[in-house]
Structure 1
């Protein structure tokens, strides 16, 4: 009996000793490991994205039909005022993506290798705000409805003029003066675009007085070479209209503008039309809408893909029918949408147009 009691006491001592060194519970360990794994996966993705960004794209295969489901949407941060945020050279990548809803209307959208839609009655008003460089993807957008292209700098994305598009060099701001003067010579183009959103600190950020001086030094002299000139394009921030009025005051008659350029980002087609009409009524000049998209920069939800389709199916016929609108450049025919809702994207990963992009460039409205 005493022996059994001693054995029992010994066994109890072993159990108590061992329990003192048992590891932390599994759920606590798994939490730490999950955090480490998330961090590792983020580092791998970052390295992979950096590597992919340096890989040259292969020559495009003949295009196939692109479904609307290839367009993706994301929820993005918004600002407190209506402003546009065009890139200096190319937009920053969107941070997230999710599947977009189907459009509210059905449109036939099977592209050919070189789309040639002419359903707009011969008006060639569609323009390409092109941040993709001199790529062969441009062939997919040279339709019977597309006439204009610019790239937020003085350099054409079509140096050999393969696609017969009217290129418009831009003097984005003071940091591009040397490039602008080196390439914008007689015969290089016919139109010059003025400064990009000078009323925004994140863009060319020019006072009206500084802009007037820069214009008189570098843009006004180009008129002697045969160029027509297009005004600076302010964002649709309400202070943009005041900025333009002050710009013309500062010019004191020394800035000749043939066309007014405007940018617009908001939600309602009716507000877009009213905004463009206001600029035309004020200055009584033809208008280039060099950036626009249904995009909410005022807080709240972004338009759905169905809303975006409805917007373009309203405004594109209006643009074609409005005589004072010289050209319109939807944002964006590009892979990288900066901080604009990626549901507005008009270019698929293949480099070809999305269904919505195809609708816009083929003029069947």
Structure 2
């Protein structure tokens, strides 16, 4: 009888332990989830050191650790879109993992009428290298990959005459990126990656460096503009003398994102910044165009659109249909390709798992190669 009681106690204890270590939800675009690795709370360091399984999708790097990928956090704007005047219910960045609404996000209703942008897309010229998104084999050379897939051997399928840039939401760059013809852009995602950034980003490692990911959002880089200025001055400014082009922190297109960037640029007047990065999530292509134009006009610098998708994070109004996603892609990439001060753009997402982002935005097929939308995007 006593042995049966002991066995029952042992089983119940194991059950309690098992439930306490169950899977935990991850907020979109946090440093622990933006690398698209689902993790338990406070396990970032342990997971970063863990070898990833060896398969055709994500092979471990031979030397440095493979980063986990931050996920975007929704940042709704005046109409619930991820930004400024705009799309129906999008937000800054809320991707992989469970989105957490941010304090500055407004409730989205139906898709508002998009404001008329001060710069409108020009028709694509299919006879030169500044063509629109449907011109196979040509393009502006501005197309970038936001790549959370580690050393995926399928990266070779993503380089065309139009694709150029690649980043991984971390200081790490895929080993074959340069040999394939990509211009890698290591990122100082936030303070959690500061040590890795200092170790990796040296002269010759790359010639572009990117600032913080959504510092205006909790769950993302989440820092004050003054703290961002200090980190920039200490860790990014010196790279300019080492031959690096410097891309600013990337805020959401919520009003708080624009305000964060204004405050950052105000306190970082002597910082060396070549282009302003921004994100956009919403369902209106014209709202995206307006937001990007406003950023350019406000800061007087070139722009990198380092995340965008036809995505409603507002909770009402519905998601873009597949046809709407295609129309959105045609319109915004046509604008990007034909606007001289837009220097690079990165659609979300070239990845196997879109997490909480509308899957019709997915650029990657089940085989790891570009699907129809992906081929349109990279102009293959």
Common fold, TM-score beyond 0.5?
yes
Is contact 1:120–1:320 with CA below 8 Å preserved after alignment? no
The corresponding residue for 1:186 is: 203
Q: In 1, Cα distance between the equivalents of 2:349 and 2:139?
A: 23
Deviation at 1:159, TM superposition (A): 4.5
Match of 1:310 in 2: 327
Cα displacement (A) at 1:55: 5.5
Q: What is the CA distance between 1:92 and its match in structure 2?
A: 3.4
**Deviation by residue 1:70-125 (Cα, 9 ceiling, x = unmatched):** xxxxxxx99756222366xxx3399xxxxxxxxxxxxxxxxxxxxxx974755211
Question: Are positions 1:92 and 2:116 aligned together?
Answer: no
Alignment partner, residue 296 of structure 2: 280
Contact 1:78/1:296 (8 A) holds in 2? no
DSSP-derived class of the 1:161 partner: helix
Equivalent in 264, 271, 281 of residue 255 of structure 1: 271
Offset at 1:162?
Answer: 2.6
Counterpart residue number, 1:270:
286
Structure 1: 5+ residue stretches without partners = 1-42, 44-49, 61-76, 95-116
Give the match's secondary structure for 1:339.
coil
Aligned equivalent of 1:157: 174
Q: CA RMSD in A?
A: 2.6
Task: Tell me the alpha carbon deviations over residues 212-231 of structure 1, each in whole angstroms, 9 at most, x when there is no partner.
Answer: 01111111111121111111
Q: Tell me by how many angstroms 1:237 deviates.
A: 1.4
Q: Which runs of 4+ in 1 moved over 3 A?
A: 53-56, 77-81, 91-94, 117-122
Question: CA 1:337–1:93 in 2, change beyond 3 Å: closer, same or farther?
Answer: farther
Aligned to 2:313: 297
Select which of 123, 129, 143 maps to 2:146: 129
Matches within 5 A, 1:45-124: 56-58=54-56, 82=82, 83-85=91-93, 91-92=96-97, 119=136, 121-124=138-141
Cα deviation 1:198-253 (Å, max 9, x = unaligned): 000010001001100111111111112111111100011111111111111222x2
For CA contacts below 8 A with separation 6 or more, give which structure has more relative contact order.
1
Q: 1:258 to 1:178 in 2, by over 3 A?
A: same
Structure with higher helix content? 1
Provide structure 2 residue ranges, at least 5 long, that are not aligned to the other structure: 1-21, 23-37, 39-50, 59-73, 83-90, 100-133
Return the alpha-carbon distance in structure 2 between the equivalents of residues 59 and 347 of structure 1: 12
Number of residues of Structure 1 aligned to a counterpart in Structure 2: 271
Do the aligned partners of 2:93 and 2:281 also contact (CA within 8 Å) in 1? Answer: no
Identify which range, 340-349 or 324-333, moves more after superposition.
340-349
Describe the shift of the 1:59–1:157 C-alpha distance in structure 2 as closer, same or farther (beyond 3 A): closer
**Helix, strand or coil: the match of 1:231?**
strand
**1:86·1:203 contact (CA, 8 Å) conserved in 2?**
no
Q: CA deviation at 1:158?
A: 3.1
Whole-angstrom distance in 2 between the partners of 1:186 and 1:55: 31
Contact 1:93 1:336 in 2 (8 A): no
Rounded to whole Å, the distance in 2 between the matches of 1:147 and 1:140 is: 13
Provide the rounded CA distance (Å) in 1 between the counterparts of 2:324 and 2:363. Answer: 15
